Amino acid sequence: MSLPKDFLWGFATASYQVEGAVDKDGRGPSTWDAFCAQPGKVADGSDGSVACDSYNRTKEDIDLLKSVGAKCYRFSISWSRIIPLGGRNDPVNQKGIDHYVKFTDDLIEAGIEPFITLFHWDLPLGLYERYGGILSKEEFPLDYENYARILFKAIPKCKHWITFNEPWCSSILGYNTGLHAPGHTSDRSRSPVGDSARDCWIAGHNLLLAHGRAVKAYREEFKPTQGGEIGITLNGDATFPWDPEDPEDVEAANRKIEFAISWFADPIYHGDYPASMRKQLGDRLPSWTPEEIALVQGSNDFYGMNHYTANYVRHKKGVTPPPEDFVGNLDTGFVSKSGDVIGPETQSAWLRPCPRGFRDLLVWLSRRYGGPKIYVTENGTSVKGENDMPVGRIVEDDFRVRYFDGYVRAMAEACAQDGVDVRGYMGWSLLDNFEWAEGYETRFGVTYVDYANDQKRYPKKSARAMKPLFDSLIKQD
């Protein structure tokens, strides 16, 4: 028994990936609606217009959570449902607020603790069209703060708020590679707009400012009476040096984490960007004013951790990084110099299981940031070829069962043996869903969703395996 008795475990989803009902009850369009409408942006040409139909099936989703024993559920709110045009002077949609208030109430009544993510990538299209969305330092943080304040006031029963999900993805995939909405990139064959060398760093800076403003508002105006907590969720892979005997590979493995995680975590915990980023990026990385540092530093009640995989990292010798480089002038792979392989293949080219890396990264984060309270807000895997299997095989997802077992036990070891303060774990995902640019071809759910037959849900073996796993690890009264 190595996890605290009040440890919370459950599952996570995101609004655009599961809700559907994009035209219902006054919801406005988002940047992802517009992005999906562009040919070639999504692997199977699909979109989130129906997805898992979760907007219309909240009771079904809650019953599913109860049936597998989940103690918590992380979901995100669609900004476009709350303020269809997005801005602080735009009309508020009461029907959208009412939906999430009832959903939160119903979760709590069912004994399931809600974790609410305010922004999981689906920006109101109105803000993007009005002033460029996240790239506007003058407008975006103010509009986001207003949106957050509306929800803090409307849903006082929520005790766990997450400002942003994976700002790295919003910044890099949205404004460097162009693989996610709004699709900005310097590659003119893929986008008519975008500067990959600069826009992503501006976006990241503005997301941190918006985060800081929302946290300040919550702490000053709502936390004293509501008693909740607020933080940001960051994503990052574990790293191992390609050649552990080469000091430059060792350094590069650390630098890879800094460019992914410390880009956002260092300003929050230490008051500035990592020196490795400043060294490579120079004035392309925005500078902090004293007022901005005061706003952002210390703005986490907890650290939200999304984690899936690990990489071997090799430094690039004598190579000047191109202006669009965002990883830290290095190469990543799944095979080391000695031929060791990180883990078996999955459906996702970027993901291979490596539980040891999870434990290592938990320890790395704990040491660098002074032992913060951590919630693992996403962790999971796709299964190679799963979408092409018959349903009977899909629900017998032993590969995913092994993944969760290995990762959860590695997390428990980090708590018991390394002193890491982990308070909760949310598997990704409760449901197979719209997997962004990969469409519906890749499944991450512990529940099979039959998209062709009215989105019927069939829990997989992995959904049933979580409760006995956590029962064996959580201390009893």
CA separation for the pair 207, 196 (Å, rounded): 17
CA separation for the pair 143, 89 (Å, rounded): 9
166 given a catalytic annotation: yes
Cα distances from 5 to residues 255, 333, 418, in angstroms, run 36, 38, 18
Tokens read off for 148: 């957050």
CA separation for the pair 252, 257 (Å, rounded): 9
396 given a catalytic annotation: no
Please count the CA atoms within 13 angstroms of the CA of 292 that sit on its side-chain side.
Answer: 16
Tokens read off for 85: 């045009």
User: Which of 139, 258, 292, 378 is an active site residue?
Assistant: 378
CA separation for the pair 28, 15 (Å, rounded): 13
Please count the CA atoms within 13 angstroms of the CA of 277 that sit on its side-chain side.
Answer: 24
CA separation for the pair 373, 91 (Å, rounded): 37
User: Which of 145, 166, 229, 258 is an active site residue?
Assistant: 166
- Other CB atoms within a 10 A radius of the CB of residue 68 amount to 18
CA separation for the pair 306, 359 (Å, rounded): 13
Place of tokens 């890749």: 442
Q: Which helix (H) or strand (E) holds 213?
A: helix 199-221
38 Cβ contact list (under 8 Å, min separation 6) = 183
Beta pairing, strands 456-459 & 447-450 = antiparallel
What SS3 class is residue 210?
helix
DSSP class of 247: H
The dihedral over CA atoms of 143, 146, 150, 151, expressed in degrees to the nearest 10, equals 70
CA separation for the pair 106, 60 (Å, rounded): 11
Question: Is there a contact between 443 and 387 (Cβ–Cβ < 8 Å)?
Answer: yes
The dihedral over CA atoms of 187, 193, 199, 202, expressed in degrees to the nearest 10, equals -170
Tokens read off for 372: 């913060």
Whether the upstream peptide bond of residue 2 has omega within 30° of 0, thus cis, is no
Query: Which residues are known catalytic residues?
Result: 166, 378
